[in-house]
Amino acid sequence: MKLKNRALFIDMLKGLALIVMIEVHVVNSMLLPALKESWWFPSLNFINGLVAPAFSFASGMVFALSLQKGVDQLRTFGKEFWRKLSRVGLVFFVGYSLHLPYYSLNKILNNQTQQNLNSLFTVDILKLIYTGLIVLLFERIIIKSEKRFYNFILILTAIILFISPLLWKIDFANYLPVFFANYFNKMHSSLFPGFPWWAFVFSGAYVAKYYLEAKQNNSEKAFARKMIITGSLFYLISVVIMYVLFPQELAKIIPNPFFFLERFGLILLFLGVFWFYLNNKENYSSFILDVSRESLLVYWVHLQLIYREIFWGKSIADLSQKNFNALQCMIDTIILIVLMLILAKVWGLLKSKFPAYCRWLTATVLIIGTVIFIIR
């Protein structure tokens, strides 16, 4: 897809979310716990809390836009279907590879512990997005009417938000394998269970409807203005309801729908602002957009560098011993961000100049890695 045909404001949202995500993982794994009592930490924590909603929202919106292409091929399981499925499958592959207790199928089968299983089946942001995109893909195949497709997304989002507090009270591991139970709540250490987090993926897909209509009617500026106004209203309403009118009542409802509305409002606000910032910049390029386009690679590599035991049998997180001050975390964050920006830029250039070779290299690495995992 050519640069000028891309919705750059969505790329900007996704890229910034991923860059801030690097800081989130550095702080979570290295910051001295006592510093989390500092005056500045609640503000930082709130900003960090926007990363997962923004990243999953952008992923849902981008995927819904891509589903407009080759709809007939999707329904006949043609080339476009397999192309979409392979992309979603890669997210699945990467998501589970990050939680493997051992890089050996034999060890996993013979040396498994409950702790290892819980870690393997933890629902992180990639697993959340993968399952959400699979639902969107098959919805688009089954529901032929575009209007009904988007209406179904809206209804599904509302259902997820309103039943999540009920589902969080049930231990689904008593009725289902942990693999499935972890999508319902956080009882078994899931970071982003589908309830309520799928709402961000699906709301992103739903907002794509309004962007497509605006693009067809040449009214993208009005769309961006509405995003800013609507987002601001949603944010203000949720803040007043949660923190002024009913703070004690809503504190008992976990998770409550206004948690979603507050973050959804800010995402819409950012989308509108980014659209105006990028408007008329035909050949605009930046490292942020590079990170967005190579988001899966950047996500996987930066987590390997932080958590994988590749430095004398220890990870960077282990070496820090959760004893870093704010300045040390800032320095580590800057170093990692610079490395990831370079990685995204270089890989993006290679893909543009040698697309066939890069596809071959990616497939080869995945196949060899899978074979080693199976036979090791």
Residue 340 in contact with residue 333, Cβ under 8 Å?
Answer: no
Q: Are the beta carbons of 96 and 121 closer than 8 angstroms?
A: no
Spatial neighbors of 167 by CB under 8 A, at least 6 apart, are 184, 185, 195
Burial 275-300 (b: 16+ CB within 10 A, else e): beebeeeeeeebbbbbbbbbbbbbbb
* Residue 146, burial from CB neighbour count under 10 angstroms (0-12, 13-18, 19+): middle
Cβ count within 10 A of residue 188: 19
Contact (Cβ atoms closer than 8 angstroms) between residue 60 and residue 262: no
What's the domain range around 241? 3-375
Task: Return d(Cα 25, Cα 27) in angstroms, integer.
Answer: 6
Provide the whole-model pTM. Answer: 0.93
Give the DSSP letter string of 17-43: HHHHHHHHHHHHHHB-GGGGGSTTHHH
The per-residue pLDDT for 6 is 63
Alpha helices by DSSP H, listed for the chain, are: 8-30, 41-48, 51-66, 71-75, 79-97, 105-110, 114-120, 125-142, 146-167, 178-181, 194-216, 220-240, 247-251, 257-278, 287-293, 295-307, 316-320, 326-353, 355-375
What average pLDDT does the chain have? 91
- Structure confidence at residue 207 (pLDDT): 97
pLDDT digit string (tens) for 237-259?
999 999 999 998 888 889 999 99
The rounded percent of the chain whose pLDDT value lies above 70 is: 98
Instruction: Centre a 10 Å sphere on the Cβ of residue 104 and count the other Cβ atoms it contains.
Output: 16
Closest to 346 measured CA to CA, from 303, 296, 291: 291
Show the tokens assigned to 74. 């999707």
Taking 70 as the pLDDT cut, the residues of the chain under it are 1-6
User: What pLDDT digit, counting tens, does each position of 31-63 carry?
Assistant: 999 999 999 999 999 999 999 999 999 999 999
- Count of domains for the chain: 1
